[in-house]
């Protein structure tokens, strides 16, 4: 709440000042941001009036001066309280709004004329005749103040500066990791050794050298410290209705990239995965009951296009018969639920968030996402996904657990919610490539870079999961498989296999 010190001289503006204070306190917009202060409302205190009103100027955010005909009471130095207040506000670099009554200054006290000229040399002052003129002028000035301080935004949330954040709150490592991925995936033009500020500037993620909300969400060390609702809540229900107790519930935090990865991994760890035999190839076929690309698309869309000014969070809910992905927000102008099912343009709700997600190959920007989801589900044998707008945007993907079996074909060795064993110790080419790339403890992102892979889904399906199942690698945090700080290392068996393959 910003405090406004309403100044005047003597009793000349007693009615106007009271009316102005009442106007600010009752206006639906202004009262949300401002609290006016009138000196006569100050309770009795053991303090000189001159000291008290100057102290109030110091404690306020805005000095609002009403200059009329009278100069007012003059102290021993021949200076009125109004001039003392204006000088104090100037010295303390307060925002100053000056309103002068009357079209001309000929009839004003000479010292008031001098004060008006002095003020006019520093700030733009407005003239008024009555309260009917004064109130709209004050309203316009206060709205300008809100816009200038980004308390009232006329630019997208993702493009506005994140208050209280500095570039020190961004992770250099995350920016550098993104740069490597963007160069490989989309030929991002910056050199790999570009400094973080250059990357942020190229992506338009700085506003007067202050990180934007998009910068914090994408590369922040602790994004939820500044945007607490930027999280994903995941729940797994055994039935078809929301009901307590919830068998499994997890709230994920981190950057938007990490939120996508964690939420996708949550779903893939809960739905059925079938592993077939090696009757027709050296690698055992695997298949999820829902195509991983569909799961990823639904979650990425929810995170990329949500309304971040809402206090709600993205919700991912897995039921026995469906997956629901909900986000606070709606369809952009120009799109309808029907048009989502047809080729359409791309209308990102958060364009500065969408661009880095595109560069990291998390999304496309051709408006093909929902169409791809429909096509993939249909080809997989699933009903078409449904889309709806109620108190938010909901994507529903229907489940058919038995489809996991159908897609591996032949004799089925196992169907599990997460691969826990490998049928044979034979190592695929992908797994061999992975274990030869592991040096010490490495994160998922570092391993993907090492093997030159861009698709997270493909990486987990063909590299990480088989290697884990074969006992060749292990997680550094086995009890928290979806932790954003998770890393992987070779087991003794994996070290032996790596030595064998390197010797060949």
Rounded Cα distance between 204 and 355, Å, is 10
Q: Closest Cα to residue 344, out of 387, 383, 295, 291? A: 387
Average pLDDT (236-263) is: 91
DSSP letters along 357-386, please? HHHTTS--SSS-HHHHHHHHHHHHTPPPPE
pLDDT at 346: 66
pLDDT at 47: 57
Tokens of 385: 């996904």
* pLDDT tens profile 18-71: 999 999 999 888 999 999 998 877 765 555 667 788 888 999 999 999 999 999
Q: At what angle do helices 444-451 and 429-437 cross, to 10 degrees?
A: 120
Q: Closest Cα to residue 82, out of 60, 101, 64? A: 64
pLDDT at 462: 81
**What does each C-alpha distance from 359 to 297, 356, 385, 498 come to in angstroms?**
15, 5, 26, 33
pLDDT at 410: 43
Task: Report yes or no: 98 and 125 within 8 Å, Cβ to Cβ.
Answer: yes
Alpha-carbon torsion (24, 28, 30, 32), positive or negative: positive
Q: What is the greatest pairwise CA distance in the chain?
A: 104
* pLDDT tens profile 399-425: 988 876 666 664 334 443 433 333 333
pLDDT at 286: 74
Rounded Cα distance between 299 and 39, Å, is 55
Q: Which domains does the chain possess?
A: 2-148 (3.40.50.450), 157-226 (no CATH), 232-405 (3.30.565.60), 419-503 (1.10.10.10)
Which comes out higher in pLDDT, residue 162 or 485?
A: 162
User: 10 Å Cβ neighbour count for 120?
Assistant: 12
3-state SS assignment for residue 297: helix
Angle (nearest 5°) at CA 178 between 251 and 161: 70
* pLDDT tens profile 100-135: 999 899 999 999 999 999 999 999 889 998 888 899
Average pLDDT (161-168) is: 93
Rounded Cα distance between 295 and 52, Å, is 63
Angle (nearest 5°) at CA 44 between 41 and 49: 80
* pLDDT tens profile 64-114: 999 999 998 898 999 999 999 999 999 999 999 999 999 899 999 999 999
Whose structure tokens read 């805005």? 62
Rounded Cα distance between 189 and 199, Å, is 10
User: 10 Å Cβ neighbour count for 495?
Assistant: 14
* pLDDT tens profile 304-351: 989 998 889 999 999 999 999 999 988 776 677 887 777 766 667 888
Where are the alpha helices (H) located in 27-130, listed in sequence order? 30-33, 49-59, 81-91, 110-120
Question: Which are the contacts of 241, defined by CB distance < 8 A and separation ≥ 6?
Answer: 319
Average pLDDT (352-359) is: 91
Report long-range pairs for 243-251 (Cβ below 8 Å, ≥24 apart).
250/482, 251/313
E strand intervals along 328-448? 386-389, 393-398, 412-416, 442-443
pLDDT at 49: 64
Is 80 exposed, middle or buried (CB count within 10 Å of its CB: 0-12, 13-18, 19+)?
A: buried
């Amino acid at each position: 709440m910003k405090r406004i010190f309403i100044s005047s001289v003597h009793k000349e503006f007693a009615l106007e000042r009271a009316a102005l204070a009442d106007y600010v306190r009752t206006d639906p917009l202004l009262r949300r941001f401002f609290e006016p202060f009138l000196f006569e409302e100050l309770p009795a205190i053991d303090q000189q009036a001159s000291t008290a009103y100057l102290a109030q100027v110091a404690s306020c955010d805005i000095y609002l001066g009403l200059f009329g005909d009278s100069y007012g009471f003059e102290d021993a130095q021949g200076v009125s309280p109004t001039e003392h207040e204006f000088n104090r506000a100037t010295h303390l670099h307060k925002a100053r709004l000056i309103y002068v009554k009357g079209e001309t200054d000929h009839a004003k006290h000479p010292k008031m004329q001098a004060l008006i000229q002095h003020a006019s040399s520093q700030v733009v002052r407005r003239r008024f005749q009555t309260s009917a003129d004064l109130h709209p002028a004050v309203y316009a000035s206060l709205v300008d103040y809100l816009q200038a301080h980004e308390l009232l935004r006329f630019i997208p949330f993702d493009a506005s500066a994140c208050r209280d954040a500095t570039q020190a709150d961004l992770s250099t490592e995350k920016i550098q990791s993104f740069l490597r991925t963007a160069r490989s995936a989309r030929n991002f033009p910056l050199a790999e050794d570009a400094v973080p500020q250059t990357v942020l500037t190229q992506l338009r993620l700085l506003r007067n050298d202050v990180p934007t909300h998009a910068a914090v969400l994408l590369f922040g060390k602790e994004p939820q410290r500044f945007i607490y609702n930027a999280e994903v809540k995941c729940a797994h229900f055994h039935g078809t209705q929301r009901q307590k107790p919830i068998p499994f519930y997890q709230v994920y935090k981190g950057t938007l990239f990490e939120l996508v990865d964690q939420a996708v991994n949550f779903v893939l760890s809960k739905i059925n995965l079938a592993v077939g035999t090696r009757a027709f190839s050296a690698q055992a076929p695997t298949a999820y009951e829902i195509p991983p690309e569909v799961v990823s698309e639904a979650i990425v869309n929810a995170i990329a296009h949500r309304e971040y000014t809402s206090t709600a969070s993205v919700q991912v809910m897995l039921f026995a018969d469906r997956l629901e992905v909900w986000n606070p927000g709606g369809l952009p102008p120009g799109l309808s639920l029907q048009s989502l099912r047809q080729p359409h343009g791309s209308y990102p709700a958060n364009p500065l968030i969408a661009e880095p997600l595109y560069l990291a190959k998390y999304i496309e920007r051709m408006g093909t996402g929902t169409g791809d989801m429909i096509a993939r589900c249909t080809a997989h044998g699933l009903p078409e996904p449904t889309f709806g707008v109620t108190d938010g945007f909901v994507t529903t993907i229907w489940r058919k657990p038995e489809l996991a079996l159908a897609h591996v074909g032949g004799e089925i060795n196992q169907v599990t919610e997460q691969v826990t064993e490998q049928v044979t110790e034979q190592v695929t080419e992908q797994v061999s490539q992975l274990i030869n790339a592991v040096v010490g403890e490495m994160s998922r992102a570092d391993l993907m870079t090492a093997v030159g892979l861009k698709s997270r889904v493909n990486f987990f399906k063909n590299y990480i999961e088989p290697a884990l199942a074969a006992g060749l690698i292990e997680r550094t945090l086995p009890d928290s498989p979806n932790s954003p700080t998770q890393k992987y290392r070779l087991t003794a068996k994996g070290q032996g296999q790596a030595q064998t393959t390197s010797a060949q």
